[in-house]
Amino acid sequence: EAGVAQSPRYKIIEKRQSVAFWCNPISGHATLYWYQQILGQGPKLLIQFQNNGVVDDSQLPKDRFSAERLKGVDSTLKIQPAKLEDSAVYLCASSFGGGRRFEEQFFGPGTRLTVL
Amino acid sequence: EDKVVQSPLSLVVHEGDTVTLNCSYEVTNFRSLLWYKQEKKAPTFLFMLTSSGIEKKSGRLSSILDKKELFSILNITATQTGDSAIYLCARSNDYKLSFGAGTTVTVRA
């Protein structure tokens, strides 16, 4: 079974530029998560999708971050414009869905973003 | 935000030592307590604990939950260099996980 795929693996941009990350979850997983992990901290949930609907985006800085999962499969996370404090690893995870299964999350390799 | 506190923040041990990691959490809407191992970037699932006092084991790793005192411990016995990683604790509520900052474990040969 293929794991969660993410691209790119690394990205370096200047502040005020825009950047996009892509995630393809495990086949059949209805729920998709984007996490931000700043160095020295645990992953923080940015947004959670159930199929193509948003379950929770309460910690997504909506003035600069956006995310979509149009067909309920792959997803993109965009930052525009980027700030220095956005430097972090962006992790995508997926799970089967609700009930007990959502806790069994499978993580992708992440994208390390550096904003200069 | 649901608070999860891990201790220590980091530790260095020698191969063969035993390591005990701690995780405390807030009780609001608690469903389960999870442990993940993070090497490089992707966290990988270790344990999910829902019942108090029942130890879960996987090889040299074991974990237990105390729902009265609101904490969990993760033990690693006979440590190996491959155990070097960040160990993350997370609690779940109805639909999401909240992670602690992690404990960085370094095992020296």
Q: Which helix (H) or strand (E) holds B64?
A: strand B61-66
Domain ranges, ordered by start, for chain A: 5-109
Selecting from 2.60.40.10, 3.40.50.170, 1.10.10.10, 2.40.37.10, what CATH number does the domain A5-109 have?
A: 2.60.40.10
The pLDDT, as a whole number, for residue B40 is 81
Distance from CA of B103 to the nearest CA of A (A): 9
The answer to whether the Cβ–Cβ distance between A103 and B92 falls below 8 Å is: yes
Q: Which of A41, A104, A105 sits opposite B101 (nearest CB)?
A: A41
pLDDT-above-70 percentage for chain B: 98
Under the banding of pLDDT at 50, 70 and 90, the label for residue B14 is very high
In a mutational test of the B interface, the residue from A105, A111, A112, A113 whose CB has the highest number of chain B CBs within 10 Å is: A105
Q: Which of B32, B40, B100 sits opposite A42 (nearest CB)?
A: B100
- DSSP string spanning A61-87? -TTTEEEE-TTSS-EEEEESS--GGG-
Q: Which of B32, B40, B99 sits opposite A42 (nearest CB)?
A: B99
The pLDDT, as a whole number, for residue B1 is 56
The pLDDT, as a whole number, for residue B61 is 97
Length of chain A: 116
CATH architecture entry for B4-108: Sandwich (2.60)
Q: Which residues of chain A have pLDDT under 70?
A: 1, 97-100
The pLDDT, as a whole number, for residue A97 is 66
Residues B50-82 have pLDDT tens digits of 988 899 999 999 999 998 999 999 999 999 999
Taking contacts as CB-CB distances below 8 angstroms, the residues of chain B near A42 are 4, 88, 90, 99-102
Pairing of strands B10-14, B61-66: unpaired
Taking contacts as CB-CB distances below 8 angstroms, the residues of chain A near B88 are 42-43
Under the banding of pLDDT at 50, 70 and 90, the label for residue B108 is very high
Residue A18, number of CB atoms within 10 A of its CB? 11
Say whether residue B51 is in contact with chain A using an 8 A CB cutoff.
no
**Nearest-by-CA chain A residue for B36:** A105
Task: State mean pLDDT over B8-16.
Answer: 97
Q: Which of A40, A41, A45 sits opposite B96 (nearest CB)?
A: A45
- Residue A63 CA to residue A28 CA, distance in Å, equals 32
Task: State mean pLDDT over B78-103.
Answer: 93
The pLDDT, as a whole number, for residue A71 is 85
Task: State mean pLDDT over B25-47.
Answer: 89
Domain ranges, ordered by start, for chain B: 4-108
Number of H helices, E strands in chain A: 0, 11
- Residue B34 CA to residue B91 CA, distance in Å, equals 6
Taking contacts as CB-CB distances below 8 angstroms, the residues of chain B near A40 are 101
The pLDDT, as a whole number, for residue A1 is 62
